[in-house]
Amino acid sequence: MVEHASAAINEKGHLVFGGADVVELAKTYGTPLYVYDVAMIRNRARGFKNTFERLGVKAQVAYASKAFSSIAMLQLADQEGLSLDVVSAGELYTAIKADFPREKIHFHGNNKSEEELEMALDYEIGCIVVDNFYELELLQQLCKKKDKQVNVLLRVTPGVEAHTHDYILTGQEDSKFGFDLNSGQSEDALKMALCSPYLNVLGLHCHIGSQIFETTGFKLAAKKLLTKMAEWKEKYQFQPEVLNLGGGFGIRYTSEDDPLEPSRYVEEIIHEVKQQTELLHLTMPEIWIEPGRSLVGDAGMTLYTIGSMKDIPEVRKYMAIDGGMSDNIRPALYDAKYEAVIANRMNDPVEETVSVAGKCCESGDMLIWDLPVPKPNHKDILAVFCTGAYGYSMANNYNRIPRPAVIFVENGEARLVIKRESYEDLVKLDLPLTVSVENA
């Protein structure tokens, strides 16, 4: 019944994750609670990194920190020798606070503000992934003002859109991100960047989608980018050092998902890049990738306490938990599917089908429809699997619900890495309408 890679059941019939009894964790730290299996994150990171090393290809594996950013998480990424993607000043600030090596930080985004670009220049981060002409201008002005040079990648949209099980070739991609590769846009951007005394163009970047289960899309994108690089090498003597193929490697949320091992994605990408560079007489570039979800997604789970239940005979049984779209907005946002178990009753037979309702004031706040479970009791602990990516990072205070705590577990040892928000935290930015006499 527990198909999850790093989960097990102990003698009490409790779910064990990362070597810890999750029912005990719920007791100690309260619910809702995010729990991460640190060994699994390390394994995934090594799966990507070691494959490049084994095949002798220079690479950077950058953790896309938008999936889950916190000081402890970024320290863990650094321990594993990963680079880091940030997409805002807030994520950059977190990286700086975590003492992340600045030269390994890459800054993404389709509308980086002047303040954000200045911050990136001041911290002298590894590179800025330039997205559009406005940014290209702005960045040069800021470099001039600060008398600084900066490494850049140009983000291009290759007209390859990868989805979970297939990919779509589009002539001109309809995306808010990047310079279009098929029209002259990306070439114009390259010319501008090459002319600039402030910008050092390392190469090209693309990101073709997310939750991708096959390699065709990555290979097609690599081929398209390398073909352009070869053209531009002739025309502009542009020697690209870096080919960045983005993230989007899939994970298994439910039994319907069938992802590849990290090593498989990397092996096939390397094979294609090697083949194309030979064919096109290019020198082999460094390959950069940017996994987010696949590093932390199934390494995280959320624990909830089961509360009220509503049985509508012949229709459905609702089982409510003490969280919901405030800590996991993905089902409401894009109909994401999850699996879950009653963590304190792992050996009890499945007897019912329930639908897991959140506690927010929204009919759409439903975490899971039609989940088979043992007959649930109030105060049982529900464990929802694979909430490690875009869970905490998208958590919010809707209904003024405090954001949960986050625990790292390794070798059975638990460590609090993000404190639970307090009610005081919820009002700390609020100002009263009238200033009372005492405070004036």
Ligand X SMILES: *Cc1c(COP(=O)(O)O)cnc(C)c1O
Q: x/- binding map, residues 248-277, to ligand X, per CB under 6 A?
A: xx----------------------------
Query: Binding site: what residues are annotated?
Result: 248, 290-293, 330, 334, 362, 390
Within 10-69, the residues that bind ligand X by CB under 6 A are 64, 66-67
Contact region with ligand X (CB under 6 A), list: 50-58, 164-172, 226-234, 285-293 = 285-293
Shortest separation between residue 393's beta carbon and ligand X, angstroms = 10
Closer to ligand X by CB, 42 or 375: give it.
42
Could you tell me if 181 and 207 are in contact, meaning their C-beta atoms sit under 8 angstroms apart?
Answer: no
3-state helix, strand, coil in the chain (%, to 5): 30, 25, 40
Contacting range for ligand X; rule: CB under 6 A; set: 160-168, 246-254, 327-335, 406-414: 246-254
Q: Residue 157 Cβ, how far from ligand X at the closest point, in Å?
A: 11
Q: Which is nearer to ligand X, 246 or 391 (CB)?
A: 246
Quote the least distance from Cβ 438 to ligand X, whole Å: 49
- Region of 73-81, 232-240, 289-297, 336-344 interacting with ligand X (CB under 6 A): 289-297
Q: Is 361 part of the annotated catalytic residue set?
A: yes
Give whichever of 84 and 220 is closer to ligand X, judged by the CB atom. 84
Residue 233: CB atoms within 10 A of its CB come to 16
Residues making up the annotated binding site for substrate are: 293, 330, 334, 362, 390
Q: Which residues within the stretch 368-407 sit at the binding site for ligand X (CB under 6 A)?
A: 389
Least separation in angstroms between residue 35's CB and ligand X is 20
Q: Among 196, 215, 294, 305, which residue interacts with ligand X (rule: CB under 6 A)?
A: 294
How many residues belong to the site for ligand X (CB under 6 A)?
17
Nearer to ligand X, 107 or 304 (CB): 107
Where does this chain touch ligand X (CB under 6 A) — which range of 32-40, 233-241, 244-252, 418-426? 244-252
When asked if residue 161 is in the footprint of ligand X (CB under 6 A), the reply is no
Of 315-374, binders to ligand X (CB under 6 A) are none
Q: Which stretch binds ligand X (CB under 6 A): 120-128, 241-249, 344-352, 353-361?
A: 241-249
Beta carbon of residue 291, minimum distance to ligand X (angstroms, whole number): 5
Backbone angles phi, psi at 94, to 5 degrees: -60, -40
Matching residue, tokens 């969280």? 323
Under rule CB under 6 A, residue 126 binds ligand X = no
Region near ligand X per CB under 6 A, out of 89-97, 286-294, 332-340, 393-401: 286-294
- Considering the complex, what minimum distance in angstroms separates the CB of residue 87 from ligand X? 7
Distance between CA atoms of residues 126 and 217, nearest Å: 27
- Nearest partner of 386 among 323, 319, 293, 305, judged by Cα: 293
What are the distances in angstroms from CA 360 to CA 65, 320, 423?
A: 27, 10, 17
- Nearest approach in angstroms of CB 67 to ligand X is 5
Q: SS in 3 state form for the chain?
A: CCCCCCEEECCCCCEEECCEEHHHHHHHHCCCEEEEEHHHHHHHHHHHHHHHHHCCCCEEEEEEHHHCCCHHHHHHHHHCCCEEEECCHHHHHHHHHCCCCHHHEEECCCCCCHHHHHHHHHCCCCEEEECCHHHHHHHHHHHHHHCCCEEEEEEEECCEEECCCCEEECCCCCCCCCEECCCCHHHHHHHHHHHCCCEEEEEEECCCCCCECCCHHHHHHHHHHHHHHHHHHHHHCCCCCEEECCCCECCCCCCCCCCCCHHHHHHHHHHHHHHHHHHCCCCCCEEEECCCHHHHCCCEEEEEEEEEEEEECCCEEEEEECCCCCCCCHHHHHCCCCCEEECCCCCCCCCEEEEEECCCCCCCCEEEEEEEECCCCCCCEEEEECCCCCCHHHCCCHHHCCCCEEEEEECCEEEEEECCCCHHHHHCCCCCCCCCCCCC
Per the residue annotation, which of 206, 360, 361, 386 is the catalytic one? 361
Nearer to ligand X, 253 or 304 (CB): 253
Site string for ligand X, 81-110 (x = CB under 6 A): ----x----------------------x--
* Nearest approach, Cβ of residue 100 and ligand X (Å): 17
Q: Within 10 Å of residue 91's Cβ, how many Cβ atoms? A: 23
Q: Extract the annotated binding site for pyridoxal 5'-phosphate.
A: 248, 290-293, 390
Question: Looking at 47, 158, 262, 291, which residue binds ligand X (CB under 6 A)?
Answer: 291
User: Exactly one of 51, 210, 276, 326 binds ligand X (CB under 6 A); which one?
Assistant: 210
290 touching ligand X, by CB under 6 A: yes
Q: What's at 261, amino acid-wise?
A: E
Instruction: Catalogue the active-site residues.
Output: 361
Residues that bind ligand X (CB under 6 A): 64, 66-67, 85, 108, 207, 210, 246-249, 290-294, 389
